[in-house]
């Protein structure tokens, strides 16, 4: 056989081989993702020209809607691989507002390829590739792309068996066998047509749709929940979009779970303020009105069976199936972490559900038979996600005809929706197809009743930090309105630490924003922090564990399980909270950690408490009792708890005044205004401080008390209105 000719692209010390999909530098391979390789090849082929962003997006993602930021991320990856340090580099230049240009000269080379080793290439010969423990028999021809993709240390070519002369009918038989084998191989390897997105439709424009809520359809209308402050309302809208209208119901703080097969009833929950995944379940008509209690079940999520005769519901780490009236519940599965998003397969034989693992919050998809058998994860052969909150795959559900399965994925902070053909032919192995991607938040996907749309909530997280000015009676920007949360001040008031909500990093700066220093980087997702009395160290919570870091920067070290730390004024003890998600085998409660020995002991009577805060004088501990809806006070001298005020406070926002006389707190779930109070420790007198009425703006969805300045001014983190219902209109083969 004659030599095959291929074309190589060479620039600087690099050489790109399009056939083998290799990028080499000085004969050493450079790692690039498939999309980044395709992007680099496109730029090389049009070297010296400005390639428009729209053209690149259409070429890289022809059948998928993705955000433009994905293109920038792949350009960054290429620049990093080529050693570029900025966008004004010698290779890829950004043309503002237009696209990119490959600025370096590119040469096209031709090279002959000889058959490698003593591999025989006649039509009847076979190439054998040995990979570690087994032999892969490739069949009719050698596949250079497949072989080159294997690690070199695992690959070796074996001599082909000697060729024997073929005569008469043997030749005909061999040719017939080869033709049939080639046909079968073509059928098996030929990719089946994949669904593609025709357009993306925004169906609501209020910006108030509950970001973590579900969108359901009865064919004519869509149902979802909207939020304003501490209130949730059930809304309905035409499937074509427009202005929504509320559905009046007797169920408070409503969360939407499912719609029955007859499309006349909604399965909902009355959300408990503490968010303990133990909410009462209710059934209400799709026209609104009074609800009917679903037996005495407490659950975090639930779903009706396709025949309407059963309901699956999950409570913390347990999955149950009960009759349609809630009676005769039976446990299907019990694990660790939190189970959520149960969905029945259309024929009713299987349930899919998601698990949020304890300690770090990674999520994963699972499936189980409705008889409790055949429990297994749905991993699709993907690598394990990084250990960070919400990373992984979750929230999967079937199309009405059962042919497709849609789910959400979060990888390195980027969120995307995927479809996989569930009912496939014998010849084709199903593989997930990405249909949407965004750096912002994407809610749980669900199919429309006709299976032609994917419905979800899109949410662009936007926060602003504000300080309440008690003289002017209004909120004003603080730290320049940065997206900061969970602020803590050093004991002398000269420094402040906070979480940057944009990337979950921990920062410290002066209270006026100067001398800002970033302290942590991914995959840590910093939240609450507390300063050592000397101001030299900061303890913070990240990924459900406590970490220690010097306030001037350095490498963080892990201390213990726990969240919401609070350092004692004498520096000898740290308070921390644990809930059932944090540490398997630990009881949810408030604990004390001895700073010298690192020994941890539970504070008696603190089960189900959260948000511990040590008073500046060291005498008391304030915390929220999410079970009995009270603000609690612990007297260290008496070793005794007492109630400070009624109403469940927002545990993460409890703060002490500098003189230890008052505790500031917020009723986060108390209506639209979400008022902030303070209570006098001496006489238990409660007085209102402020509410959302003092924001003087209409674009606020919600807000949380997130700190207290040294002069006792409340700090609030505003959540802006940016969440709406979207639909992906599909072309499905």
Question: Which pLDDT tens digit goes with each residue over 666-706?
Answer: 998 878 899 999 999 999 999 999 999 998 788 999 999 99
Q: Which of 136-145, 221-230, 525-534, 708-717 has the lowest mean pLDDT?
A: 136-145
526 with 622, same domain: the answer is yes
Contact of 634 with 623, CB cutoff 8 Å? yes
With respect to residue 460, please indicate whether it lies within any of the assigned structural domains.
no
Distance CA 238, CA 728 (A): 16
Question: What's the pLDDT at 461?
Answer: 85
Distance CA 564, CA 605 (A): 18
Distance CA 606, CA 619 (A): 17
Question: What's the pLDDT at 174?
Answer: 62
With respect to residue 716, please indicate whether it lies within any of the assigned structural domains.
no
Question: What's the pLDDT at 583?
Answer: 61
Whether 112 shows a pLDDT value over 70: the answer reads no
88 with 230, same domain: the answer is no
pLDDT bracket for residue 579 (50, 70, 90): confident
Helix residue ranges, H only, 672-727: none
Q: Is 321 helix (H, G, I), strand (E, B) or coil?
A: strand
Question: What's the pLDDT at 143?
Answer: 35
With respect to residue 345, please indicate whether it lies within any of the assigned structural domains.
yes
Contact of 488 with 497, CB cutoff 8 Å? yes
**Other Cβ atoms closer than 10 A to 231:** 17
Whether 136 shows a pLDDT value over 90: the answer reads no
- What is the total residue count of the chain? 733
Task: Return the beta strands (E) in 532-666 as ranges.
Answer: 537-542, 545-550, 557-561, 563-567, 573-578, 589-594, 600-602, 609-614, 620-625, 630-635, 640-646, 655-656, 662-666
Cross-strand bridge partners of residue 355:
339, 364
Question: Which pLDDT tens digit goes with each residue over 200-223?
Answer: 999 999 999 999 999 999 999 999
pLDDT bracket for residue 85 (50, 70, 90): low
> Inter-axis angle of helices 69-82 and 53-60, to 10 degrees?
90
Structure tokens belonging to residue 418: 């995927």
Contact of 568 with 531, CB cutoff 8 Å? no
Q: Is 34 helix (H, G, I), strand (E, B) or coil?
A: helix
Structure tokens belonging to residue 37: 């390789």
Q: Report how far Cα 486 is from the mean position of its chain's Cα atoms.
A: 21
Question: What's the pLDDT at 9?
Answer: 92
Distance CA 273, CA 231 (A): 11
Where among 374, 402, 430 does a domain terminate?
402
- Looking up residue 593, the CATH number of its domain turns out to be 2.120.10.30
Q: Which of 135-149, 551-565, 708-722 has the lowest mean pLDDT?
A: 135-149
Question: Which pLDDT tens digit goes with each residue over 489-518?
Answer: 999 999 999 999 988 999 999 999 999 999
Q: Kindly state the DSSP code that residue 88 receives in the 8-state scheme.
A: B
Question: Which pLDDT tens digit goes with each residue over 401-429?
Answer: 999 999 999 998 899 999 999 865 544 56
pLDDT bracket for residue 151 (50, 70, 90): very low
123 with 97, same domain: the answer is no
The per-residue DSSP string of 223-234 comes to EEEEEETBEEEE
Contact of 649 with 638, CB cutoff 8 Å? no
Q: Please give the average per-residue pLDDT across 140-169, as a whole number.
A: 37
Decide which of 126 and 4 is more confident.
4
490 with 638, same domain: the answer is yes
Q: Please give the average per-residue pLDDT across 510-533, as a whole number.
A: 93
Q: Is 80 helix (H, G, I), strand (E, B) or coil?
A: helix
Distance CA 435, CA 102 (A): 29
Structure tokens belonging to residue 120: 């025989």
- What sign does the CA torsion over 398, 401, 404, 410 have? negative
Structure tokens belonging to residue 98: 């237009």
Where among 386, 402, 418 does a domain terminate?
402
> Inter-axis angle of helices 69-82 and 34-45, to 10 degrees?
80
Give the pairing of strands 92-95 and 99-102: antiparallel
- Looking up residue 70, the CATH number of its domain turns out to be 1.10.10.10
With respect to residue 413, please indicate whether it lies within any of the assigned structural domains.
no
Cis peptide before 523 (omega within 30 of 0): yes
16 with 121, same domain: the answer is no
Distance CA 456, CA 724 (A): 9
513 with 554, same domain: the answer is yes
Question: What's the pLDDT at 130?
Answer: 33
With respect to residue 457, please indicate whether it lies within any of the assigned structural domains.
no
Question: What's the pLDDT at 482?
Answer: 93
Whether 128 shows a pLDDT value over 60: the answer reads no
Distance CA 651, CA 294 (A): 29
130 with 65, same domain: the answer is no
Give the pairing of strands 301-304 and 310-315: antiparallel
Decide which of 53 and 117 is more confident.
53
Q: Please give the average per-residue pLDDT across 471-475, as a whole number.
A: 93
Q: Is 385 helix (H, G, I), strand (E, B) or coil?
A: coil
Q: Which of 126-135, 254-263, 641-650, 704-713 has the lowest mean pLDDT?
A: 126-135
Distance CA 598, CA 523 (A): 24
Question: What's the pLDDT at 584?
Answer: 60
301 with 269, same domain: the answer is yes
Question: What's the pLDDT at 271?
Answer: 87
76 with 215, same domain: the answer is no
Report how far apart, in Å, the C-alpha atoms of 699 and of each of 466, 584, 696, 719 are: 14, 41, 10, 9
pLDDT bracket for residue 709 (50, 70, 90): very high
569 with 646, same domain: the answer is yes
Whether 191 shows a pLDDT value over 90: the answer reads no
Percent of residues, the chain, with pLDDT higher than 70: 84
Q: Is 72 helix (H, G, I), strand (E, B) or coil?
A: helix
Whether 43 shows a pLDDT value over 50: the answer reads yes
With respect to residue 706, please indicate whether it lies within any of the assigned structural domains.
no
Q: Please give the average per-residue pLDDT across 58-78, as a whole number.
A: 79
With respect to residue 197, please indicate whether it lies within any of the assigned structural domains.
no
Q: Kindly state the DSSP code that residue 249 receives in the 8-state scheme.
A: B
Distance CA 314, CA 298 (A): 8
Question: What's the pLDDT at 330?
Answer: 95
Domain enclosing residue 328, as ranges: 210-402
142 with 97, same domain: the answer is no
Report how far apart, in Å, the C-alpha atoms of 249 and of each of 211, 253, 291, 305, 669 are: 21, 10, 7, 24, 18
Largest CA distance in the chain: 108
Q: Kindly state the DSSP code that residue 122 receives in the 8-state scheme.
A: S
With respect to residue 453, please indicate whether it lies within any of the assigned structural domains.
no
If one counts the domains in the chain, the total is 4
Whether 150 shows a pLDDT value over 60: the answer reads no
Q: Which of 129-133, 352-356, 564-568 has the lowest mean pLDDT?
A: 129-133
Distance CA 212, CA 441 (A): 9
Q: Which of 199-203, 377-381, 393-397, 456-460 has the lowest mean pLDDT?
A: 377-381
In the numeric block, the tokens 């060729």 are attached to 163
183 with 240, same domain: the answer is no
Q: Kindly state the DSSP code that residue 59 receives in the 8-state scheme.
A: H
Question: Which pLDDT tens digit goes with each residue over 588-612?
Answer: 899 999 999 999 999 999 988 999 9
Q: Which of 142-156, 222-236, 398-412 has the lowest mean pLDDT?
A: 142-156
Read off the pTM: 0.72
């Amino acid at each position: 056989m004659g030599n095959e000719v291929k074309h190589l692209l060479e620039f600087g010390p690099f050489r790109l081989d399009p056939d083998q999909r290799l990028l080499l530098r000085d004969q050493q391979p450079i790692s690039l993702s498939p999309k980044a390789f395709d992007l680099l090849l496109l730029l090389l082929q049009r070297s010296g020209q400005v390639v428009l962003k729209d053209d690149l997006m259409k070429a890289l993602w022809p059948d998928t809607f993705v955000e433009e930021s994905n293109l920038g991320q792949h350009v960054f990856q290429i620049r990093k691989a080529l050693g570029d340090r900025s966008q004004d580099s010698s290779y890829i230049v950004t043309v503002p507002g237009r696209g990119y240009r490959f600025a370096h000269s590119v040469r096209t080379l031709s090279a002959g390829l000889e058959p490698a080793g003593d591999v025989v290439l006649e039509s009847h010969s076979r190439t054998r590739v040995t990979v570690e423990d087994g032999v892969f028999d490739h069949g009719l021809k050698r596949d250079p792309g497949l072989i080159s993709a294997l690690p070199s240390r695992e690959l070796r070519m074996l001599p082909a068996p000697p060729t024997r002369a073929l005569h008469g009918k043997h030749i005909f038989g061999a040719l017939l066998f080869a033709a049939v084998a080639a046909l079968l191989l073509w059928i098996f390897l030929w990719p089946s047509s994949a669904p593609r997105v025709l357009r993306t439709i925004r169906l609501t424009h209020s910006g108030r749709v509950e970001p973590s809520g579900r969108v359901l359809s009865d064919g004519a209308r869509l149902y979802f929940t909207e939020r304003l402050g501490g209130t949730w309302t059930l809304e309905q809208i035409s499937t074509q979009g427009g202005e929504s209208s509320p559905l009046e119901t007797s169920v408070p703080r409503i969360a939407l779970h499912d719609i029955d097969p007859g499309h006349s009833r909604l399965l909902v929950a009355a959300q408990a303020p503490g968010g303990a995944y133990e909410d009462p379940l209710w059934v209400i008509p799709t026209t609104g009105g009074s609800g009917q209690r679903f037996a005495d079940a407490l659950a975090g999520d639930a779903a009706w069976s396709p025949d309407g005769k059963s309901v699956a519901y999950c409570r913390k780490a347990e999955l149950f199936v009960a009759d349609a009236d809630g009676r005769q519940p039976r446990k299907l599965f019990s694990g660790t972490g939190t189970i959520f998003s149960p969905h029945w397969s259309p024929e009713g034989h299987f349930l899919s559900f998601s698990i949020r693992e304890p300690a770090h919050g990674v999520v994963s998809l699972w499936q189980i038979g409705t008889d409790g058998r055949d429990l297994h994860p749905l991993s699709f052969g993907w690598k394990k996600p990084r250990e960070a909150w919400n990373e992984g795959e979750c929230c999967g559900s079937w199309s009405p005809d059962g042919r497709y399965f849609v789910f959400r994925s979060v990888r390195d902070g980027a969120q995307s929706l995927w479809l996989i053909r569930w009912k496939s032919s014998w010849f084709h192995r199903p593989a997930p197809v990405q249909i949407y991607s965004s750096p912002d938040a994407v809610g749980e996907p669900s199919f429309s009743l006709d299976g032609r749309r994917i419905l979800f909530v899109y949410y662009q997280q936007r926060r602003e930090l504000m300080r309440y000015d008690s003289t002017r009676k209004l909120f004003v920007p603080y730290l320049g309105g940065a997206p900061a949360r969970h602020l803590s001040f050093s004991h002398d008031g000269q420094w402040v630490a906070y979480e940057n909500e944009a990337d979950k990093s921990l920062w410290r700066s002066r209270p006026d924003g100067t001398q800002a220093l970033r302290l942590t980087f991914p995959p840590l997702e910093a939240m609450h922090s507390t300063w050592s009395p000397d101001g030299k160290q900061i303890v913070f919570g990240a990924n459900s564990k406590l970490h220690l870091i010097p306030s001037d920067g350095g490498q963080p070290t892990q201390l213990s399980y726990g969240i919401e730390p609070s350092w004692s004024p004498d520096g000898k003890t740290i308070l921390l909270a644990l809930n059932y998600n944090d540490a398997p085998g630990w009881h949810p409660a408030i604990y004390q950690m001895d700073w010298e020995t690192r020994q941890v002991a539970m504070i008696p009577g603190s089960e189900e408490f959260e948000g511990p805060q040590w008073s500046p004088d060291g005498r008391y501990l304030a915390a929220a009792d999410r079970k009995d809806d009270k603000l609690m006070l612990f007297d260290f001298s008496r070793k005794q708890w007492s109630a400070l005020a009624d109403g469940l406070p927002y545990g993460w926002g409890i703060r002490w005044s500098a003189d230890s006389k008052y505790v500031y707190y917020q009723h986060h779930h108390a209506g639209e205004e979400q008022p902030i109070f303070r209570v006098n420790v001496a006489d238990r007198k409660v007085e209102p401080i402020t509410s959302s009425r003092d924001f003087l703006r209409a674009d606020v969805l919600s807000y949380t008390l997130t700190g207290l300045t040294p002069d006792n001014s409340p700090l609030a983190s505003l959540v802006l209105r940016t969440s709406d219902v979207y639909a992906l209109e599909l072309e499905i083969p």
